[in-house]
Structure 1
Amino acid sequence: MEIQEILESLKAGKTSVKNAKKLLSLYSIEEIEEFAKIDINRRKRRGIPEVIFAETKELEEIKKIIEKTLEKTNSVIISRIKKKDYQKIITFSKKLKVKIEIGKNSSSLLLFKKPIKFHGGKVGILTAGTSDIGVAEESRLMCEAMNCRCITSYDVGVAGIQRIFPVLKKMIKEDVDCIIVAAGMEGALATLVSTMVDIPIIGIPTSAGYGYGGKGIAALASMLQSCSLGLSVVNIDNGIAAGGIAANIANRAKKSK
């Protein structure tokens, strides 16, 4: 529906104020010069915060998007910041007097104005190796921005399979609603975890690996070909997507409890 139709429908009593507000929120876009259109109501509409993919953006563009987004919302994630821009963005964010959550071994940041309340669901996050932590941390930042509490355990892959059992025991005890598994090489950890729990699993194939099948290709193929049901898979190194899906699952589970 166009804005005029929504308003006429409201005036005629054909729709409620609540529904009209929801429909109008679809038109809430903040334009920044001629290079960006910010969907500032995405959080209200979908529960998902604004994410800036910084890898292909200029520093000044990133700064302007950060500033405009934080004028209208409480938080923003900056993903895949170029090495030369990383410290500059932190310095700029401090000038805005916002809080900064830094992803370990990651080039991503979560900026927020008011403390985030973890009133959503619970998400477990695992990595097969230390090389996978940066991707997993993107997922953590996304989940926390969506009010989920995260329980993490890193470097618990199949090269030392005994490491995974106490970790899973803890996650089951904590009653996590979803588990994210980031794994490179052959990506076996995602299948292994999904065979042992009755919890939705989201696999992230990472680009850690050698030669043939490297750059995440073998891990992606392995996860896609998994014979264990209950495992879904996102694209290579896409921690942001995995975090968004996991948090949506966890938050909906929380509502139904």
Structure 2
Amino acid sequence: MSEPREKDADTALTELLAAVADGRVAVDRAVRQLAELGLNAVGDYARLDLGRQRRRLIPEIVYGPGKTIEQLVEIVRAFVRGSGWVLCSRVSAEQAAAVRTAVGERVSYDERSGVLIARGAQHELPAPRGVAGVLAAGTADVPVAEEAVAVMREMGVCVHTAYDVGVAGLHRLGAPLETMRLAGVSVLVVAAGMEGALPSVVAGLVDVPVIGLPTSTGYGYGGGGHAALLGMLQSCALGLTVVNIDNGVSAGATAALIARATGGAECRG
């Protein structure tokens, strides 16, 4: 016999509201149940928030490092059963192979960024809305930039990218910026390591919000992303905000919320 399917959060919420409406469940009891709705314990090591994407559009994103292969597999399984999909960051190739074997074919993995996405058979992306751009100063910054791209695309945002356009060859920046302007981007994520100058330059040239994404590219004094982070924080270019070093997830989620809130142009090009 097959295992009974778990109710997803939307079904459980609908049934609870119906029970309140016809008097089968008291309001105070429903309030207590709502506090637990969408939560799912996995063993004694994880308590999953299955309803986060419905509340915030941003899903709960699973951080791969520090989890055993067995823990990650069970967490991914629980998300796919409960909410239909999951995005995991910083996943190793070994972890990804185990998840793909355990969960099935609807698992995609980008080894460059370390992003793994697993979907249930019925999962659909949010309705497309908003356009964003992502720039990376150098090739070494691309993995972190691609983490941001993955989050935005999973949130239904059209993303245009241009990589290796840093200040060491500033003439490379003009054409990609013009392409993104014509595409109607409403926010830009700019990833840079070393001295981290590119976000300040871009913020001085565009009329949309810029999210500076410092990367750990670099070495010596100020290396590991520290000089990049401090340089972005000290920028005199207005309209630039900054996330932490290598935090592509936060940059992508924030950019997606901005892009979806502003709507604007359809994805093209």
Q: TM-score, normalised by structure 1?
A: 0.85
How many residue pairs get aligned? The number is 239
Question: Are 2:112 and 1:105 aligned?
Answer: yes
Quote the offset at 1:173 in angstroms. 0.4
Q: Which of 89, 98, 105 is equivalent to 1:88? A: 98
Cα distance between partner residues in 2 of 1:72 and 1:177: 33
Q: Which of 196, 210, 213 is equivalent to 2:205? A: 196
Q: Deviations over 1:74-123 (max 9, x none)?
A: 32111112354233334334x2x3142x3362222222333535612111
Moved more, 59-68 or 82-91: 82-91
The runs of 5 or more residues in structure 1 that have no matched partner are 1-5, 12-16
Aligned residue in 1 for 2:156: 147
Whether the 8 Å CA contact 1:103–1:141 is kept in 2: the answer is no
Give SS of 1:244's match: helix
Quote the offset at 1:43 in angstroms. 0.4
Q: Which of 47, 50, 72 is equivalent to 2:60? A: 50
Moved more, 175-184 or 116-125: 116-125
Whether the 8 Å CA contact 2:194–2:223 is kept in 1: the answer is yes
Q: Which of 59, 62, 77 is equivalent to 2:69? A: 59
Could you say if the C-alpha distance between residues 26 and 225 of structure 1 is closer, same or farther in structure 2, counting changes exceeding 3 Å?
farther
Residue 205 of structure 1 aligns to which amino acid in structure 2?
A: P
Aligned residue in 1 for 2:42: 32
Cα distance between partner residues in 2 of 1:81 and 1:176: 29
Q: Which of 79, 95, 105 is equivalent to 1:69? A: 79
Cα distance between partner residues in 2 of 1:103 and 1:141: 9
Whether the 8 Å CA contact 2:73–2:98 is kept in 1: the answer is no
Q: TM-score, normalised by structure 2?
A: 0.82
Quote the offset at 1:210 in angstroms. 1.6
Aligned residue in 2 for 1:233: 242
Residue 106 of structure 1 aligns to which amino acid in structure 2?
A: S
Identical-residue share of aligned pairs (%) = 39
The runs of 5 or more residues in structure 2 that have no matched partner are 1-15, 22-26
Q: CA RMSD in A?
A: 2.5
Cα distance between partner residues in 1 of 2:36 and 2:208: 33
Aligned residue in 1 for 2:227: 218
Give SS of 1:169's match: helix
